[in-house]
Amino acid sequence: MFRRNFIKQAGVLTGGLLLHNQIAAALALDDDAAGIVNVGIIGTGDRGRGIMHTMKELNTQFNVSAICDTLDFRLKEAAKEGAQWKPTAYSDYRKLLDDKNIHAVIIAVPLNLHFQIAQDALKAGKHVYLEKTMTYNTSQAMDLVSLVKKSPKLVFQVGHQYRYTPLYFRVKQIIEDGYLGKVTQIDCRWDRNWNWKRAVPNPSLERQINWRMYKEYSGGLAAELLSHQIDFINWVFKTHPDEVLGSGGIDFYKDGRETFDNVQAILRYQKDGMIGNFGATCANAHDGYMFRLKGSKGMISLLVNEGFFYPEKEMREELEMVDGVTGATKIALSKDGGIPLLKEPAKDGTWYALNDFHKCINKHEQPSSNVLTGATTAICVDLANQAMYNRNIQSWKPLYNLS
């Protein structure tokens, strides 16, 4: 009985993309939301240009009407990327916001600028897609929630793409259906063997280009990488941590950077009975991206675009049996005992997120990754950084419970 229900309800073992309605909606363009959205891209570095590239795959959903950056060479690169749209180039984002023909903006600037530009965009009547992490600190997150509430007709989406991808939707469904049992441990890493620095054409541009290295502009590894995994846990378990512990240091790259190149945060979800371990280093790439959720009945191990379910002994034995009632085929496990969650790779998460942004604008809906969820994750990241830099324990406060 369990085996049949497992196959039927979770769809884990079918290997296909036969997901529940919410997931299926993320897999296809929405034909009922066909209106073209004129977009301005504010920030045309790697991420901004990457979003432009993804918009090309969405065909006629978006028209990139304008681009903005304070660095001339970045604007030139973006103009080439978006040549099909012939966008107007600006060095001052406020002039871009003055353009009444622009419906929405993509904000992909250094973290310290997120709040101010998002605030100005809302006041200018623009829909906003704001890259993660939503804000630099907790106070900005709470202020932005208040601002968005004053503009209920505007779509405000935060760039936490896991809330839109088929793989992570599937994991969410598996957990909600109880197939992991009681989850107690979450282990996450996002490692690399790289200094994370970009080439600087002029020494005077060091801090502007390599802003991730400096505390004035950046939330470091917690904000740039681990926020995705933290947000996923918040989403799936409808939760937030009660306590945050952390440690870190500039342990390898003695190059003048201010943000840590080696971090570890422990998030204690007391009411859920879970511990989340979130770590990253810039000095070893062996584990790369790792995301494991461990429950009493099994474990899910995730990479960016693929995942496997590892049943515990009792469940494995039942799954390996041929169903005597239905004659169902015996389930074959991989050599290491894992069951693939998807038969074929999905698209990059940005594709699904932008598709939803377009749909929400045209259908007057609010996205899954919105100002409230974005604020919760931004607060988690801020608490993690405070714990790491101050070497103390940070506690969740009742005023952080936003609604």
Helix (H, G, I), strand (E, B) or coil at 47: helix
Provide the CATH number for the domain around residue 94: 3.40.50.720
Same domain, yes or no: 56 and 103: yes
Same domain, yes or no: 201 and 255: yes
Same domain, yes or no: 241 and 300: yes
Look at residue 8 and tell me if it is in a domain. Answer: no
pTM of the model as a whole: 0.91
| 315 CB burial (10 A radius; 0-12, 13-18, 19+) | buried
pLDDT of residue 121: 98
Domain-terminating residue out of 162, 193, 219: 162
Same domain, yes or no: 184 and 156: no
Domain-terminating residue out of 105, 129, 162: 162
Same domain, yes or no: 110 and 200: no
Same domain, yes or no: 132 and 179: no
Residue of 369, 236, 391, 246 whose CA lies nearest to 300 = 236
Look at residue 357 and tell me if it is in a domain. Answer: no
Look at residue 358 and tell me if it is in a domain. Answer: no
Read off the DSSP letter of residue 171: H
Look at residue 4 and tell me if it is in a domain. Answer: no
DSSP state letters, 58-84: TTTSEEEEEEE-SSHHHHHHHHHHTTT
| Structural domain total, the chain | 2
43-76 burial, b for 16+ CB within 10 Å, e for fewer?
bbbebbbebbebbeeeeebbbbbbbbbebeebbe
Same domain, yes or no: 210 and 132: no
Same domain, yes or no: 144 and 201: no
| 134 CB burial (10 A radius; 0-12, 13-18, 19+) | buried
Same domain, yes or no: 152 and 182: no
How far apart, in whole angstroms, are the C-alpha atoms of residue 363 and residue 249?
A: 46
Taking phi over 0 as left and psi of -120 to 50 as alpha, with beta for the rest, 323 belongs to beta
Look at residue 242 and tell me if it is in a domain. Answer: yes
How far apart, in whole angstroms, are the C-alpha atoms of residue 115 and residue 192?
A: 29
Instruction: Give me 217's structure tokens.
Output: 């502009």
Look at residue 355 and tell me if it is in a domain. Answer: no
Read off the DSSP letter of residue 205: G
Same domain, yes or no: 267 and 340: yes
Please give the chain's pLDDT, 403 residues, in tens.
455 555 554 454 444 333 444 444 444 444 444 689 999 999 999 999 999 999 999 877 999 999 999 999 999 999 999 999 999 999 999 999 999 999 999 999 999 999 999 999 999 999 999 999 999 999 999 999 999 999 999 999 999 999 999 999 999 999 999 999 999 999 999 999 999 999 999 999 999 999 999 999 999 999 999 999 999 999 999 999 999 999 999 999 999 999 999 999 999 999 999 999 999 999 999 999 999 999 999 999 998 888 999 999 887 777 766 544 444 555 656 667 789 998 877 889 999 999 999 999 999 999 999 999 999 999 999 999 999 999 999 999 999 999 8
pLDDT of residue 60: 76
Look at residue 379 and tell me if it is in a domain. Answer: yes
Provide the CATH number for the domain around residue 262: 3.30.360.10
**Partners of residue 247 on adjacent β-strands:** 264
**What does residue 170 show for φ and ψ, rounded to 5 degrees?**
-65, -45
| Domain coverage including residue 153 | 23-162
Question: Where do we find the tokens 């690399």?
Answer: 192
pLDDT of residue 333: 62
Domain-terminating residue out of 117, 134, 162: 162
Same domain, yes or no: 154 and 174: no
Look at residue 360 and tell me if it is in a domain. Answer: no
Same domain, yes or no: 174 and 123: no
Taking only Cα atoms into account, the Rg of the chain, rounded to an integer number of angstroms, comes to 22
The runs of H, that is alpha helices, within 18-130 are 21-27, 46-57, 72-81, 93-97, 114-123
250's CB contacts (< 8 A; 6+ apart) are 257, 258, 260, 261, 262
